[in-house]
């Protein structure tokens, strides 16, 4: 396969940088919220460097900040991050990697890098470039944003007084809203919300989230069987 001219990849790179900048701005919120939830700046930065999946990171610090146990926090984060494994199954044939590049690509397999890669299919060269450009851009700028947010929140003294705890549920609502496109999605969301409301005063923080996720998984399997 003949490589594409360098100039033809420039729009992809520009888009990747734009996505990284937007994600980095969101990283500022994560850094501040994580510190407000009780984690140190070092712990917060370690999460972004090693976990590197925004929704899972927000879920983890949200459960811990609300007083939930470590097991509930980790399971909640794992459930949200499991989708990245499905992304990897789709793009692995396109990337066709060996050696040390495979774990690096695994770390960079997120919503943004996968979406950009798929958008360039079936052109393999463009798809690979989109994956790496977006993944690296988001990784670098997300971690920079996390660091600035964590250090800034630490300097405030008590960032909880700014109401940053409300940003976690607000962020998840923003992620959920575009996916409520039909009656089935609304029914699943309503069922999960009801379970969470019932369990919140009865169980530890994090358990209602896990129970709601279980409702969504069961409903997904039932809908798949019907189709």
pLDDT tens per residue, range 114-148: 989 988 888 999 999 999 999 999 999 999 999 99
My answer on whether omega of the bond before 122 falls inside 30° of 0, hence cis, is: yes
Sign of the torsion formed by the C-alpha atoms of 179, 182, 188 and 192? positive
Question: 174 vs 81, which has greater pLDDT?
Answer: 81
Q: What's the confidence (pLDDT) of residue 63?
A: 81
Q: What's the confidence (pLDDT) of residue 174?
A: 59
Q: Average pLDDT for residues 165-181, to the nearest whole number? A: 61
Residue 3 in this model has a pLDDT that exceeds 60 = no
Q: What percentage of the chain reaches a pLDDT higher than 90? A: 28
In degrees rounded to 5, what are phi and psi of residue 98?
-140, 160
Residue 175 in this model has a pLDDT that exceeds 70 = no
Residue 2 in this model has a pLDDT that exceeds 50 = no
Domain residues of the chain, as ranges? 8-179, 181-227
Whole-model pTM: value is 0.72
Sign of the torsion formed by the C-alpha atoms of 45, 63, 76 and 227? negative
Measure CA 59 to chain center: 9
The mean pLDDT value of the chain amounts to: 81
What CA–CA distances, in Å, run from 10 to 5, 46, 108, 143, 169? 10, 32, 20, 24, 37
Q: What's the confidence (pLDDT) of residue 163?
A: 58
Residue 18 in this model has a pLDDT that exceeds 70 = yes
- What six digits make up the tokens of 25? 């701005």
**DSSP, residue by residue, 47-105:** HHHHT--HHHHHHHHHHHHTT--HHHHHHHHHHHHTHHHHHHHHHHHHH---TTHHHHH
């Amino acid at each position: 396969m003949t490589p594409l001219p360098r100039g033809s990849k420039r729009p992809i790179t520009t888009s990747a940088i734009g996505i990284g900048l937007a994600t980095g701005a969101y990283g500022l919120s994560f850094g501040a919220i994580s510190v407000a939830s009780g984690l140190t700046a070092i712990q917060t930065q370690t999460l972004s460097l090693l976990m590197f999946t925004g929704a899972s990171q927000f879920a983890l610090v949200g459960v811990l900040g609300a007083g939930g146990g470590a097991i509930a926090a980790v399971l909640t984060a794992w459930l949200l991050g499991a989708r990245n494994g499905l992304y990897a199954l789709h793009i692995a044939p396109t990337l066709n990697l060996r050696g040390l590049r495979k774990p690096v690509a695994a770390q960079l397999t997120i919503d943004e890098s996968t979406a950009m890669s798929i958008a360039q299919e079936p052109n393999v060269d463009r798809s690979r470039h989109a994956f790496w450009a977006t993944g690296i851009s988001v990784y670098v700028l997300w971690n920079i944003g996390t660091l600035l947010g964590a250090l800034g929140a630490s300097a405030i003294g008590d960032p909880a007084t700014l109401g940053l705890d409300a940003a976690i549920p607000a962020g998840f609502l923003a992620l959920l809203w575009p996916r409520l496109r039909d009656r089935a999605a609304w029914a699943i969301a309503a069922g999960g919300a009801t379970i969470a409301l019932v369990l919140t005063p009865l169980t530890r923080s994090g358990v209602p989230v896990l129970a709601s996720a279980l409702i969504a998984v069961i409903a997904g399997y039932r809908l798949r069987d019907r189709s």
